[in-house]
Amino acid sequence: MTRLFLIPLIIIALFMAAVLAALILQVSATEIWQAVSSAETLFALRLSLTTSLLAVSLSIVLGVPAAYFLARKNFFGKAVMDAVLDLPLVMTPLVAGVGMLFLFGQQWLGGALAHFGLRLIFSPWGAVVAQTFIAAPILIRSCRSAFEAVDPRYELAAETLGLSSFGVFFLITLPLARQGLLSGAILAWARALGEFGATLMVAGATRFKTTTLPISIYLNISSGELDLALACSWLLLFAGLVLLVALKLVGRTRNHRSPNGGVQL
Protein backbone atom coordinates (compact mmCIF):
# COMPACT_ATOMS: atom_id res chain seq x y z
CA MET A 1 0.00 0.00 0.00
CA THR A 2 2.75 2.41 0.95
CA ARG A 3 4.42 1.97 -2.44
CA LEU A 4 1.39 3.49 -4.12
CA PHE A 5 2.27 6.78 -2.42
CA LEU A 6 5.52 6.76 -4.38
CA ILE A 7 3.65 7.59 -7.60
CA PRO A 8 2.53 11.10 -6.55
CA LEU A 9 6.05 11.75 -5.23
CA ILE A 10 7.56 10.82 -8.58
CA ILE A 11 5.05 12.97 -10.47
CA ILE A 12 5.81 16.03 -8.36
CA ALA A 13 9.57 15.48 -8.56
CA LEU A 14 9.44 15.09 -12.35
CA PHE A 15 7.34 18.22 -12.65
CA MET A 16 9.84 20.23 -10.60
CA ALA A 17 12.77 18.82 -12.58
CA ALA A 18 11.04 19.61 -15.87
CA VAL A 19 10.55 23.25 -14.88
CA LEU A 20 14.23 23.56 -13.97
CA ALA A 21 15.26 21.87 -17.23
CA ALA A 22 13.13 24.30 -19.20
CA LEU A 23 14.98 27.19 -17.58
CA ILE A 24 18.43 25.69 -18.08
CA LEU A 25 18.11 24.36 -21.62
CA GLN A 26 16.25 27.26 -23.20
CA VAL A 27 19.34 29.16 -24.36
CA SER A 28 23.04 28.40 -24.63
CA ALA A 29 25.49 28.90 -21.80
CA THR A 30 27.34 31.58 -23.81
CA GLU A 31 24.18 33.64 -24.24
CA ILE A 32 23.33 33.32 -20.57
CA TRP A 33 26.83 34.38 -19.49
CA GLN A 34 26.64 37.46 -21.69
CA ALA A 35 23.24 38.30 -20.22
CA VAL A 36 24.40 37.71 -16.64
CA SER A 37 27.34 40.05 -17.12
CA SER A 38 25.22 42.79 -18.71
CA ALA A 39 24.84 46.12 -16.92
CA GLU A 40 21.08 45.70 -16.51
CA THR A 41 21.34 42.28 -14.89
CA LEU A 42 24.12 43.36 -12.53
CA PHE A 43 22.11 46.43 -11.51
CA ALA A 44 19.07 44.26 -10.78
CA LEU A 45 21.23 41.88 -8.73
CA ARG A 46 22.77 44.68 -6.66
CA LEU A 47 19.41 46.33 -6.05
CA SER A 48 17.76 43.03 -5.08
CA LEU A 49 20.50 42.19 -2.58
CA THR A 50 20.44 45.71 -1.14
CA THR A 51 16.68 46.03 -0.75
CA SER A 52 16.17 42.49 0.53
CA LEU A 53 18.94 42.82 3.13
CA LEU A 54 17.51 46.14 4.30
CA ALA A 55 14.04 44.60 4.45
CA VAL A 56 15.28 41.64 6.49
CA SER A 57 17.25 43.94 8.81
CA LEU A 58 14.16 46.06 9.40
CA SER A 59 12.08 42.92 9.93
CA ILE A 60 14.57 41.68 12.53
CA VAL A 61 14.67 45.00 14.42
CA LEU A 62 10.89 45.17 14.60
CA GLY A 63 9.94 41.51 14.41
CA VAL A 64 12.14 39.89 17.05
CA PRO A 65 10.87 42.04 19.98
CA ALA A 66 7.30 41.70 18.68
CA ALA A 67 7.64 37.92 18.47
CA TYR A 68 9.04 37.75 22.01
CA PHE A 69 6.17 39.82 23.38
CA LEU A 70 3.62 37.58 21.64
CA ALA A 71 5.36 34.46 22.93
CA ARG A 72 5.48 35.58 26.55
CA LYS A 73 2.43 37.80 27.12
CA ASN A 74 -1.31 37.29 26.99
CA PHE A 75 -3.41 40.40 26.45
CA PHE A 76 -6.83 41.45 25.30
CA GLY A 77 -7.10 41.29 21.51
CA LYS A 78 -4.14 38.93 21.05
CA ALA A 79 -6.12 36.72 18.67
CA VAL A 80 -6.98 39.74 16.54
CA MET A 81 -3.33 40.84 16.58
CA ASP A 82 -2.28 37.36 15.45
CA ALA A 83 -4.74 37.50 12.58
CA VAL A 84 -3.52 40.93 11.47
CA LEU A 85 0.12 39.83 11.54
CA ASP A 86 -0.65 36.65 9.60
CA LEU A 87 -2.76 38.45 7.00
CA PRO A 88 0.18 39.18 4.64
CA LEU A 89 0.85 35.43 4.49
CA VAL A 90 -2.50 34.84 2.77
CA MET A 91 -2.97 38.23 1.11
CA THR A 92 -2.09 38.47 -2.57
CA PRO A 93 1.08 40.63 -2.75
CA LEU A 94 -0.46 42.66 -5.56
CA VAL A 95 -3.34 43.66 -3.29
CA ALA A 96 -0.89 44.54 -0.51
CA GLY A 97 1.00 46.68 -3.00
CA VAL A 98 -2.17 48.58 -3.95
CA GLY A 99 -2.81 49.29 -0.27
CA MET A 100 0.72 50.59 0.24
CA LEU A 101 0.44 52.64 -2.94
CA PHE A 102 -2.47 54.53 -1.40
CA LEU A 103 -0.98 54.60 2.12
CA PHE A 104 2.26 56.23 0.99
CA GLY A 105 0.59 58.40 -1.62
CA GLN A 106 0.28 62.17 -1.30
CA GLN A 107 -3.18 62.02 0.26
CA TRP A 108 -2.03 59.84 3.14
CA LEU A 109 1.53 59.54 4.46
CA GLY A 110 3.35 60.57 1.30
CA GLY A 111 2.93 64.29 1.92
CA ALA A 112 4.24 64.08 5.48
CA LEU A 113 7.21 61.95 4.45
CA ALA A 114 8.05 64.38 1.64
CA HIS A 115 8.72 67.10 4.25
CA PHE A 116 11.57 64.93 5.53
CA GLY A 117 12.88 64.35 2.01
CA LEU A 118 11.71 60.73 1.96
CA ARG A 119 9.87 59.51 -1.12
CA LEU A 120 8.77 55.88 -1.13
CA ILE A 121 6.51 55.60 -4.16
CA PHE A 122 8.39 54.62 -7.33
CA SER A 123 11.75 54.59 -5.57
CA PRO A 124 14.08 51.87 -4.26
CA TRP A 125 12.94 52.69 -0.72
CA GLY A 126 9.47 51.64 -1.79
CA ALA A 127 10.89 48.22 -2.64
CA VAL A 128 12.35 47.98 0.88
CA VAL A 129 9.00 48.82 2.45
CA ALA A 130 7.10 46.38 0.24
CA GLN A 131 9.54 43.56 0.92
CA THR A 132 9.44 44.27 4.67
CA PHE A 133 5.65 44.01 4.63
CA ILE A 134 5.88 40.59 3.02
CA ALA A 135 8.89 39.23 4.92
CA ALA A 136 8.19 40.45 8.46
CA PRO A 137 5.25 38.09 9.19
CA ILE A 138 7.38 35.09 8.19
CA LEU A 139 10.15 36.14 10.56
CA ILE A 140 7.71 36.91 13.39
CA ARG A 141 6.03 33.51 13.12
CA SER A 142 9.36 31.64 13.14
CA CYS A 143 10.83 33.72 15.98
CA ARG A 144 7.70 33.36 18.07
CA SER A 145 7.87 29.57 17.79
CA ALA A 146 11.54 29.69 18.77
CA PHE A 147 10.83 31.82 21.84
CA GLU A 148 7.92 29.61 22.88
CA ALA A 149 10.28 26.60 22.78
CA VAL A 150 12.53 28.24 25.38
CA ASP A 151 11.55 27.21 28.91
CA PRO A 152 10.61 30.38 30.87
CA ARG A 153 12.17 28.86 33.97
CA TYR A 154 15.61 29.66 32.56
CA GLU A 155 14.63 33.32 32.39
CA LEU A 156 13.20 33.28 35.91
CA ALA A 157 16.37 31.67 37.24
CA ALA A 158 18.50 34.34 35.56
CA GLU A 159 16.36 37.11 37.05
CA THR A 160 16.75 35.66 40.54
CA LEU A 161 20.52 35.79 40.02
CA GLY A 162 20.30 39.52 39.41
CA LEU A 163 20.07 39.91 35.63
CA SER A 164 17.85 42.69 34.34
CA SER A 165 15.06 42.02 31.87
CA PHE A 166 17.25 43.18 28.99
CA GLY A 167 20.13 41.07 30.26
CA VAL A 168 17.92 38.00 30.42
CA PHE A 169 16.67 38.60 26.89
CA PHE A 170 20.07 39.17 25.31
CA LEU A 171 22.16 36.74 27.36
CA ILE A 172 19.71 33.88 27.95
CA THR A 173 16.69 33.91 25.63
CA LEU A 174 18.31 34.98 22.38
CA PRO A 175 21.15 32.41 22.54
CA LEU A 176 18.71 29.60 23.35
CA ALA A 177 16.40 30.57 20.48
CA ARG A 178 19.13 31.44 17.98
CA GLN A 179 18.53 28.50 15.64
CA GLY A 180 14.88 29.36 15.16
CA LEU A 181 15.69 33.05 14.76
CA LEU A 182 18.30 32.27 12.10
CA SER A 183 15.89 30.02 10.23
CA GLY A 184 13.27 32.75 10.27
CA ALA A 185 15.75 35.32 8.97
CA ILE A 186 16.77 33.04 6.10
CA LEU A 187 13.16 32.34 5.13
CA ALA A 188 12.30 36.04 5.32
CA TRP A 189 15.33 36.92 3.17
CA ALA A 190 14.35 34.34 0.55
CA ARG A 191 10.81 35.71 0.45
CA ALA A 192 12.00 39.32 0.20
CA LEU A 193 14.47 38.47 -2.55
CA GLY A 194 11.77 36.94 -4.72
CA GLU A 195 9.01 39.45 -3.97
CA PHE A 196 7.35 40.83 -7.11
CA GLY A 197 3.72 41.97 -6.82
CA ALA A 198 3.92 44.41 -3.93
CA THR A 199 7.32 45.70 -5.07
CA LEU A 200 5.99 46.37 -8.56
CA MET A 201 3.07 48.41 -7.25
CA VAL A 202 5.08 50.47 -4.75
CA ALA A 203 8.49 50.84 -6.39
CA GLY A 204 7.42 50.66 -10.03
CA ALA A 205 9.36 49.16 -12.91
CA THR A 206 11.88 51.74 -14.09
CA ARG A 207 15.02 50.31 -15.64
CA PHE A 208 18.25 51.14 -13.79
CA LYS A 209 16.23 52.63 -10.95
CA THR A 210 13.76 50.21 -9.35
CA THR A 211 14.30 46.98 -11.27
CA THR A 212 14.93 44.17 -8.83
CA LEU A 213 15.55 40.70 -10.27
CA PRO A 214 11.85 39.67 -10.35
CA ILE A 215 10.85 42.98 -11.93
CA SER A 216 13.66 42.69 -14.45
CA ILE A 217 12.36 39.24 -15.42
CA TYR A 218 8.91 40.72 -15.96
CA LEU A 219 10.18 43.64 -18.06
CA ASN A 220 12.45 41.52 -20.23
CA ILE A 221 9.84 38.84 -20.84
CA SER A 222 7.38 41.59 -21.81
CA SER A 223 9.87 43.12 -24.26
CA GLY A 224 10.97 39.77 -25.71
CA GLU A 225 14.52 39.85 -24.30
CA LEU A 226 14.54 36.21 -23.31
CA ASP A 227 18.25 35.93 -22.52
CA LEU A 228 18.13 38.75 -19.95
CA ALA A 229 14.98 37.32 -18.37
CA LEU A 230 16.57 33.89 -18.07
CA ALA A 231 19.77 35.38 -16.66
CA CYS A 232 17.82 37.03 -13.86
CA SER A 233 15.87 33.80 -13.36
CA TRP A 234 19.10 31.85 -12.98
CA LEU A 235 20.43 34.34 -10.46
CA LEU A 236 17.24 34.08 -8.40
CA LEU A 237 17.37 30.31 -8.65
CA PHE A 238 21.00 30.25 -7.51
CA ALA A 239 20.26 32.62 -4.61
CA GLY A 240 17.32 30.46 -3.58
CA LEU A 241 19.51 27.35 -3.69
CA VAL A 242 22.14 28.98 -1.49
CA LEU A 243 19.51 30.05 1.04
CA LEU A 244 17.92 26.60 0.97
CA VAL A 245 21.26 24.95 1.71
CA ALA A 246 21.84 27.43 4.55
CA LEU A 247 18.40 26.62 5.95
CA LYS A 248 19.11 22.89 5.79
CA LEU A 249 22.41 23.39 7.62
CA VAL A 250 20.67 25.39 10.33
CA GLY A 251 18.03 22.68 10.62
CA ARG A 252 20.69 19.99 10.89
CA THR A 253 22.40 21.88 13.69
CA ARG A 254 19.09 22.39 15.39
CA ASN A 255 18.27 18.68 15.27
CA HIS A 256 21.40 17.97 17.32
CA ARG A 257 20.09 20.19 20.08
CA SER A 258 17.20 19.88 22.45
CA PRO A 259 14.18 22.27 22.24
CA ASN A 260 15.73 24.23 25.06
CA GLY A 261 18.91 24.81 23.08
CA GLY A 262 21.06 22.34 25.02
CA VAL A 263 22.97 19.51 23.44
CA GLN A 264 21.09 16.21 23.50
CA LEU A 265 22.78 13.42 25.43
CA pair distance 36, 45, nearest whole angstrom: 9
Taking only the tens place, the pLDDT of each residue in 40-97 is 999 999 999 999 999 999 999 999 999 999 999 999 999 999 999 999 888 889 999 9
User: Residue 112 CB: number of other CB atoms within 10 A?
Assistant: 11
Taking only the tens place, the pLDDT of each residue in 102-135 is 999 888 888 788 888 888 899 999 999 999 999 9
At residue 113, what are phi and psi to the nearest 5 degrees?
A: -70, -30
User: Residue 158 CB: number of other CB atoms within 10 A?
Assistant: 18
pLDDT above 90: residue 23 = no
Domain regions of the chain by residue span? 36-146+184-255
CA pair distance 59, 64, nearest whole angstrom: 8
At residue 17, what are phi and psi to the nearest 5 degrees?
A: -65, -35
- Please give the CATH superfamily to which domain 36-146+184-255 belongs: MetI-like (1.10.3720.10)
* Mean pLDDT for the stretch of residues 223-239: 88
Long-range contact set of residues 22-29: C-beta below 8 Å, sequence gap at least 24? 23/230, 23/233, 23/234, 23/237, 24/234, 26/226, 26/230, 27/226, 27/227, 27/230
